[in-house]
Structure 1
Amino acid sequence: MERTVEQLEMNFEDRLERRLDVGKSVKVIEPDESVQVVEDYAYLKKFQGLQGIVRKIEKSESGNVSFVVDFEKAGEGIFYETELKLLSR
């Protein structure tokens, strides 16, 4: 996963503060038009802009970490960290 300049410039305390964790409020960001898989783009568009609560963090056998997010009216979605924005408390 590539890191943005902002992520590279964060110090340790900033990283801890901005870390996604169970119970934190998040918002699904707008999908990048460079998303290669049409199904992935459509899935992200469905949840784009919605706010929800991280309910579970999962790690696949390949080591990828995903976040299960509950939305009030849209049910549940599963996302990578790069697809979510942590909301202020």
Structure 2
Amino acid sequence: MLATLLPALAALLAAALATLLARLRAAAILLLLLVLLAVLVTHLTAALLLSRLLLAAALARLFLLLLILRLLARLRLTRLLLLSHC
């Protein structure tokens, strides 16, 4: 009697083990995807912050250049006005 139940028990155990391994594999893949998502979000946030800082620096540099050009234009105009009155 045990000899007839042993193959059925082995098949049942193999099926249960296969199901458990499939669930563990699915859980491991899900965990890996969650870790990958966390890494991507962290790096994306850092990249966006860096790009915003670079954009702010470029805008500040452009503003400074415009101020210098405005000052130079004002100096040229002042010089032209002074030369025209002489």
Superposition TM-score, scaled by structure 1 size: 0.15
Q: Counting strand residues as a fraction of each chain, which structure ranks higher?
A: 1
Q: Name which one, 1 or 2, has greater alpha-carbon Rg.
A: 2
Q: Which has the higher contact order (CA 8 A, sep 6+)?
A: 1
Q: Counting helix residues as a fraction of each chain, which structure ranks higher?
A: 2
